Protein backbone atom coordinates (compact mmCIF):
# COMPACT_ATOMS: atom_id res chain seq x y z
CA UNK A 1 0.00 0.00 0.00
CA UNK A 2 1.35 3.42 -0.96
CA UNK A 3 2.37 5.79 1.81
CA UNK A 4 0.18 8.88 1.98
CA UNK A 5 2.25 12.06 1.96
CA UNK A 6 1.01 15.63 2.32
CA UNK A 7 3.14 18.34 0.70
CA UNK A 8 2.63 21.84 2.13
CA UNK A 9 4.13 24.67 0.10
CA UNK A 10 5.11 27.97 1.70
CA UNK A 11 7.22 29.53 -1.08
CA UNK A 12 10.97 29.97 -0.86
CA UNK A 13 13.69 29.73 -3.51
CA UNK A 14 12.50 26.33 -4.73
CA UNK A 15 9.21 27.92 -5.80
CA UNK A 16 10.71 31.14 -7.15
CA UNK A 17 10.94 32.75 -10.55
CA UNK A 18 12.70 35.93 -11.65
CA UNK A 19 10.63 39.11 -11.38
CA UNK A 20 11.38 42.82 -11.65
CA UNK A 21 12.95 42.92 -8.21
CA UNK A 22 14.73 39.58 -8.25
CA UNK A 23 13.56 36.11 -7.30
CA UNK A 24 9.95 35.91 -6.11
CA UNK A 25 8.12 32.74 -4.94
CA UNK A 26 5.30 32.30 -7.46
CA UNK A 27 5.26 28.59 -8.39
CA UNK A 28 2.36 26.62 -6.92
CA UNK A 29 2.21 23.02 -5.78
CA UNK A 30 0.77 21.82 -9.10
CA UNK A 31 3.87 23.03 -10.94
CA UNK A 32 6.25 21.72 -8.28
CA UNK A 33 4.51 18.34 -8.30
CA UNK A 34 4.78 18.19 -12.11
CA UNK A 35 8.57 18.38 -11.71
CA UNK A 36 8.78 15.59 -9.12
CA UNK A 37 5.89 13.43 -10.35
CA UNK A 38 8.23 10.71 -11.61
CA UNK A 39 9.95 10.21 -8.27
CA UNK A 40 6.61 10.46 -6.43
CA UNK A 41 4.86 7.60 -8.25
CA UNK A 42 5.31 5.19 -5.36
CA UNK A 43 3.54 7.58 -2.98
CA UNK A 44 -0.03 8.81 -2.66
CA UNK A 45 0.52 12.59 -2.72
CA UNK A 46 -1.78 15.45 -1.77
CA UNK A 47 -0.74 19.10 -1.77
CA UNK A 48 -1.71 22.30 0.03
CA UNK A 49 -0.58 25.78 -1.03
CA UNK A 50 -0.39 27.50 2.36
CA UNK A 51 1.78 30.56 1.62
CA UNK A 52 3.83 31.96 -1.23
CA UNK A 53 6.49 33.78 0.77
CA UNK A 54 10.19 34.36 0.77
CA UNK A 55 11.20 32.75 4.06
CA UNK A 56 12.50 36.12 5.28
CA UNK A 57 8.81 37.00 5.51
CA UNK A 58 7.85 33.87 7.45
CA UNK A 59 7.32 34.89 11.05
CA UNK A 60 5.77 33.43 14.24
CA UNK A 61 2.23 33.95 12.91
CA UNK A 62 3.08 31.67 9.96
CA UNK A 63 4.58 29.08 12.32
CA UNK A 64 1.25 28.94 14.11
CA UNK A 65 -0.66 28.47 10.86
CA UNK A 66 1.79 25.74 9.85
CA UNK A 67 1.34 24.08 13.23
CA UNK A 68 -2.45 24.19 12.85
CA UNK A 69 -2.22 22.65 9.36
CA UNK A 70 0.10 19.85 10.49
CA UNK A 71 -2.03 19.07 13.54
CA UNK A 72 -5.27 18.93 11.54
CA UNK A 73 -3.82 16.64 8.86
CA UNK A 74 -1.51 14.38 10.86
CA UNK A 75 -3.97 11.51 11.33
CA UNK A 76 -4.72 11.32 7.61
CA UNK A 77 -1.15 10.95 6.33
CA UNK A 78 1.93 8.84 6.94
CA UNK A 79 4.21 11.86 6.66
CA UNK A 80 4.23 15.55 5.85
CA UNK A 81 6.65 17.61 3.75
CA UNK A 82 6.96 21.40 4.01
CA UNK A 83 8.52 23.26 1.08
CA UNK A 84 10.19 26.26 2.72
CA UNK A 85 12.81 28.89 1.99
CA UNK A 86 16.22 28.19 3.45
CA UNK A 87 16.90 31.49 5.23
CA UNK A 88 14.57 30.92 8.18
CA UNK A 89 13.96 27.20 7.77
CA UNK A 90 15.88 26.34 10.95
CA UNK A 91 13.79 28.82 12.95
CA UNK A 92 10.59 27.26 11.62
CA UNK A 93 11.73 23.69 12.23
CA UNK A 94 12.79 24.59 15.79
CA UNK A 95 9.51 26.37 16.55
CA UNK A 96 7.48 23.44 15.23
CA UNK A 97 9.55 21.07 17.38
CA UNK A 98 8.27 22.82 20.51
CA UNK A 99 4.73 23.37 19.27
CA UNK A 100 4.27 19.71 18.27
CA UNK A 101 6.05 17.76 21.00
CA UNK A 102 5.83 13.94 20.94
CA UNK A 103 4.80 13.94 17.30
CA UNK A 104 4.36 10.35 16.09
CA UNK A 105 5.07 10.81 12.38
CA UNK A 106 7.78 12.43 10.27
CA UNK A 107 7.38 16.09 9.33
CA UNK A 108 10.13 17.09 6.91
CA UNK A 109 11.12 20.58 5.84
CA UNK A 110 13.07 21.02 2.62
CA UNK A 111 13.81 23.61 -0.03
CA UNK A 112 16.67 24.49 -2.33
CA UNK A 113 19.40 26.96 -3.10
CA UNK A 114 18.25 27.28 -6.71
CA UNK A 115 14.76 27.47 -8.16
CA UNK A 116 13.26 24.22 -9.41
CA UNK A 117 13.10 25.99 -12.80
CA UNK A 118 16.89 25.85 -12.99
CA UNK A 119 18.08 22.66 -14.74
CA UNK A 120 21.08 22.29 -12.39
CA UNK A 121 19.17 23.06 -9.19
CA UNK A 122 19.31 21.02 -6.03
CA UNK A 123 15.52 21.23 -5.75
CA UNK A 124 14.49 17.86 -7.13
CA UNK A 125 17.19 15.99 -5.24
CA UNK A 126 16.10 17.57 -1.97
CA UNK A 127 12.47 16.70 -2.70
CA UNK A 128 13.45 13.09 -3.35
CA UNK A 129 15.17 12.94 0.03
CA UNK A 130 12.21 14.60 1.77
CA UNK A 131 9.77 12.12 0.22
CA UNK A 132 11.75 9.15 1.44
CA UNK A 133 12.19 10.63 4.90
CA UNK A 134 8.47 11.44 5.11
CA UNK A 135 7.76 7.78 4.34
CA UNK A 136 10.30 6.44 6.86
CA UNK A 137 7.98 6.14 9.88
CA UNK A 138 10.66 7.90 11.96
CA UNK A 139 8.80 10.38 14.19
CA UNK A 140 9.91 13.98 14.56
CA UNK A 141 10.46 17.34 12.90
CA UNK A 142 13.36 17.23 10.42
CA UNK A 143 15.22 19.17 7.76
CA UNK A 144 16.19 17.18 4.66
CA UNK A 145 18.82 18.91 2.57
CA UNK A 146 21.81 17.97 0.42
CA UNK A 147 21.58 14.24 1.15
CA UNK A 148 21.45 14.78 4.92
CA UNK A 149 18.60 14.60 7.41
CA UNK A 150 18.91 16.80 10.49
CA UNK A 151 16.74 16.98 13.60
CA UNK A 152 14.76 20.19 13.17
CA UNK A 153 15.81 21.76 16.48
CA UNK A 154 19.50 21.01 15.78
CA UNK A 155 19.75 22.54 12.32
CA UNK A 156 21.39 25.80 11.37
CA UNK A 157 22.02 27.42 8.01
CA UNK A 158 25.77 27.94 7.86
CA UNK A 159 26.42 28.64 4.15
CA UNK A 160 24.72 31.17 1.90
CA UNK A 161 25.32 29.84 -1.64
CA UNK A 162 26.62 26.29 -1.26
CA UNK A 163 24.20 23.42 -1.80
CA UNK A 164 25.56 22.15 1.52
CA UNK A 165 23.70 24.93 3.33
CA UNK A 166 22.75 23.26 6.62
CA UNK A 167 24.63 21.61 9.44
CA UNK A 168 23.54 19.57 12.44
CA UNK A 169 24.92 21.45 15.43
CA UNK A 170 26.21 19.44 18.42
CA UNK A 171 24.17 16.44 17.35
CA UNK A 172 24.69 13.62 14.81
CA UNK A 173 22.82 13.49 11.52
CA UNK A 174 19.55 11.59 11.67
CA UNK A 175 20.34 10.17 8.25
CA UNK A 176 22.54 10.45 5.18
CA UNK A 177 22.23 9.25 1.61
CA UNK A 178 24.92 6.79 0.62
CA UNK A 179 25.23 3.51 -1.30
CA UNK A 180 22.82 1.96 1.21
CA UNK A 181 20.14 4.47 0.19
CA UNK A 182 18.69 6.61 2.98
CA UNK A 183 20.85 5.39 5.84
CA UNK A 184 19.08 6.35 9.07
CA UNK A 185 20.77 6.48 12.46
CA UNK A 186 17.63 5.45 14.29
CA UNK A 187 19.43 5.53 17.64
CA UNK A 188 19.35 9.34 17.40
CA UNK A 189 15.54 9.40 17.61
CA UNK A 190 13.69 8.34 20.74
CA UNK A 191 10.09 7.34 19.89
CA UNK A 192 7.56 9.40 21.88
CA UNK A 193 6.18 7.74 24.98
CA UNK A 194 3.51 10.37 25.58
CA UNK A 195 0.65 11.61 23.37
CA UNK A 196 1.16 14.56 21.03
CA UNK A 197 0.97 17.92 22.78
CA UNK A 198 0.04 20.74 20.41
CA UNK A 199 0.69 24.07 22.09
CA UNK A 200 0.82 26.92 19.58
CA UNK A 201 1.09 29.92 21.93
CA UNK A 202 4.18 32.06 21.30
CA UNK A 203 5.43 35.30 22.81
CA UNK A 204 7.14 37.32 20.08
CA UNK A 205 8.61 39.91 22.46
CA UNK A 206 11.96 38.15 22.41
CA UNK A 207 15.24 39.82 21.45
CA UNK A 208 18.53 38.35 20.22
CA UNK A 209 21.58 40.24 21.48
CA UNK A 210 25.05 39.44 20.17
CA UNK A 211 27.72 40.86 22.47
CA UNK A 212 30.53 43.06 21.18
CA UNK A 213 33.35 44.61 23.22
CA UNK A 214 32.16 47.96 24.57
CA UNK A 215 28.43 47.20 24.52
CA UNK A 216 26.38 49.62 26.62
CA UNK A 217 24.70 47.87 29.60
CA UNK A 218 21.76 50.29 29.30
CA UNK A 219 20.56 48.18 26.34
CA UNK A 220 18.60 46.00 28.81
CA UNK A 221 16.79 49.00 30.22
CA UNK A 222 15.87 50.10 26.68
CA UNK A 223 14.61 46.62 25.81
CA UNK A 224 12.52 46.53 28.98
CA UNK A 225 10.99 49.90 28.10
CA UNK A 226 10.14 48.52 24.64
CA UNK A 227 8.18 45.70 26.25
CA UNK A 228 10.54 42.80 25.60
CA UNK A 229 9.91 39.83 27.87
CA UNK A 230 12.94 37.72 27.01
CA UNK A 231 16.48 38.20 25.69
CA UNK A 232 18.80 35.55 24.33
CA UNK A 233 22.39 36.70 24.67
CA UNK A 234 25.10 35.32 22.41
CA UNK A 235 28.00 35.73 24.85
CA UNK A 236 31.72 35.40 24.19
CA UNK A 237 33.33 31.96 24.04
CA UNK A 238 31.99 29.50 26.57
CA UNK A 239 29.81 32.19 28.13
CA UNK A 240 31.80 35.29 28.99
CA UNK A 241 30.07 38.63 29.66
CA UNK A 242 31.86 41.83 30.74
CA UNK A 243 31.54 43.29 34.23
CA UNK A 244 34.66 45.51 34.21
CA UNK A 245 33.99 49.18 33.33
CA UNK A 246 30.70 48.29 31.62
CA UNK A 247 28.86 46.05 34.06
CA UNK A 248 26.47 43.78 32.19
CA UNK A 249 26.02 41.61 35.27
CA UNK A 250 24.32 44.37 37.21
CA UNK A 251 22.15 45.38 34.23
CA UNK A 252 21.10 41.79 33.65
CA UNK A 253 20.23 41.43 37.33
CA UNK A 254 18.04 44.53 37.19
CA UNK A 255 16.32 43.26 34.04
CA UNK A 256 15.54 39.94 35.72
CA UNK A 257 14.16 41.75 38.78
CA UNK A 258 11.90 43.69 36.39
CA UNK A 259 10.44 40.41 35.09
CA UNK A 260 12.59 39.81 32.02
CA UNK A 261 13.90 36.32 31.23
CA UNK A 262 17.58 36.30 30.26
CA UNK A 263 18.94 33.24 28.44
CA UNK A 264 22.68 33.06 27.73
CA UNK A 265 24.55 30.98 25.15
CA UNK A 266 27.66 31.26 23.02
CA UNK A 267 28.51 33.09 19.80
CA UNK A 268 30.47 29.98 18.82
CA UNK A 269 28.46 27.58 16.68
CA UNK A 270 29.85 24.40 18.19
CA UNK A 271 30.31 22.94 21.70
CA UNK A 272 27.94 25.29 23.53
CA UNK A 273 28.20 27.36 26.72
CA UNK A 274 29.03 26.70 30.36
CA UNK A 275 28.76 29.82 32.48
CA UNK A 276 30.04 28.08 35.61
CA UNK A 277 33.67 27.89 34.43
CA UNK A 278 34.77 31.54 34.43
CA UNK A 279 34.12 34.39 36.86
CA UNK A 280 32.58 36.37 34.00
CA UNK A 281 29.91 33.68 33.59
CA UNK A 282 29.33 32.92 37.25
CA UNK A 283 28.46 36.54 37.96
CA UNK A 284 25.62 36.26 35.44
CA UNK A 285 24.35 33.00 36.93
CA UNK A 286 24.29 34.65 40.35
CA UNK A 287 21.92 37.26 38.89
CA UNK A 288 19.45 34.55 37.84
CA UNK A 289 20.22 34.12 34.13
CA UNK A 290 19.46 30.82 32.40
CA UNK A 291 21.82 28.85 30.16
CA UNK A 292 21.19 27.49 26.68
CA UNK A 293 24.18 25.09 26.84
CA UNK A 294 24.69 23.55 23.36
CA UNK A 295 21.46 24.73 21.74
CA UNK A 296 21.57 26.54 18.41
CA UNK A 297 20.64 30.20 18.26
CA UNK A 298 17.52 29.25 16.30
CA UNK A 299 16.48 26.67 18.88
CA UNK A 300 17.27 29.04 21.78
CA UNK A 301 15.26 31.97 20.42
CA UNK A 302 12.24 29.88 19.46
CA UNK A 303 12.29 27.97 22.76
CA UNK A 304 12.27 31.31 24.58
CA UNK A 305 9.28 32.42 22.47
CA UNK A 306 7.47 29.15 23.11
CA UNK A 307 8.18 28.96 26.85
CA UNK A 308 7.11 32.57 27.41
CA UNK A 309 3.98 31.74 25.43
CA UNK A 310 3.13 29.06 28.00
CA UNK A 311 3.92 30.81 31.28
CA UNK A 312 5.16 33.97 32.95
CA UNK A 313 6.08 32.17 36.18
CA UNK A 314 9.88 32.39 36.69
CA UNK A 315 10.12 28.96 38.32
CA UNK A 316 8.16 27.31 35.52
CA UNK A 317 10.29 29.10 32.93
CA UNK A 318 13.46 27.83 34.66
CA UNK A 319 11.99 24.32 34.73
CA UNK A 320 11.43 24.35 30.96
CA UNK A 321 15.07 25.32 30.38
CA UNK A 322 16.31 22.58 32.68
CA UNK A 323 15.04 19.84 30.36
CA UNK A 324 15.12 18.88 26.72
CA UNK A 325 11.68 19.12 25.12
CA UNK A 326 12.46 17.76 21.65
CA UNK A 327 16.15 16.83 21.63
CA UNK A 328 17.26 20.46 21.33
CA UNK A 329 19.85 20.37 24.15
CA UNK A 330 22.34 18.11 25.89
CA UNK A 331 22.20 19.03 29.56
CA UNK A 332 25.22 18.50 31.83
CA UNK A 333 24.91 15.61 34.25
Q: Where are the domains of the chain?
A: 3-198, 206-320
Those residues with Cβ within 8 angstroms of residue 57's Cβ, 6 or more apart along the chain or in another chain: none
Write down the catalytic residue from 13, 92, 110, 261: 13
pLDDT recorded at residue 252: 96
pLDDT above 90 for 83: yes
pLDDT tens per residue across span 109-148:
999 999 999 999 999 999 999 999 999 999 999 999 999 9
pLDDT above 90 for 320: yes
pLDDT above 90 for 291: yes
pLDDT recorded at residue 158: 97
pLDDT recorded at residue 327: 95
Write down the catalytic residue from 86, 92, 188, 297: 86
Segment 238-251 mean pLDDT: 92
Report DSSP letters for 235-258, one per residue. Answer: EBTTTB---SSS-HHHHHHHHHHT
The rounded distance, in Å, linking the Cα atoms of 284 and 290 is 9
Domain 206-320 has CATH 3.30.70.100: no
Segment 187-205 mean pLDDT: 91
pLDDT recorded at residue 242: 87
CATH of 3-198, one of 3.40.50.1170, 3.30.365.10, 3.30.200.20, 2.40.37.10: 3.40.50.1170
pLDDT recorded at residue 310: 98
CA 44 from chain centre, in angstroms, equals 28
pLDDT band at residue 192 under the 50/70/90 scheme: confident
pLDDT tens per residue across span 7-65:
999 999 999 999 899 999 999 999 999 999 898 899 999 999 999 999 999 999 999 99
Mean of pLDDT over the chain = 96
Q: Which residue has the higher pLDDT, 281 or 146?
A: 146
- Asked whether the domain spanning 206-320 has the same topology as the one spanning 3-198, the reply is yes
CA distances from 232 to 157, 173, 184, 276 (A): 19, 26, 33, 18
Residue positions in the annotated binding site? 55, 86-87
Residue positions in the annotated binding site for substrate? 55, 86-87
Catalytic-residue membership of 13: yes
pLDDT above 90 for 1: no
pLDDT above 90 for 280: no
pLDDT above 90 for 333: no
pLDDT band at residue 190 under the 50/70/90 scheme: confident
pTM of the model: 0.96
pLDDT above 90 for 186: no
Amino acid sequence: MKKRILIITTGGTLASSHGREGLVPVLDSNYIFSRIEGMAKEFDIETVDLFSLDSSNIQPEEWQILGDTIYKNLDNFDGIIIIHGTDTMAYTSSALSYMLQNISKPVVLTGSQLSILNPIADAEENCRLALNMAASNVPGIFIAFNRKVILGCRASKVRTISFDAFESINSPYVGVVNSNGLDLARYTIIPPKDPLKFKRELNTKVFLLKLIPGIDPDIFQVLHQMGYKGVFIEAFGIGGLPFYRRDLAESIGNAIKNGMTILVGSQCIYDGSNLSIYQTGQKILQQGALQSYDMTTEASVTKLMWVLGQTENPEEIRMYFQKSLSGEVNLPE
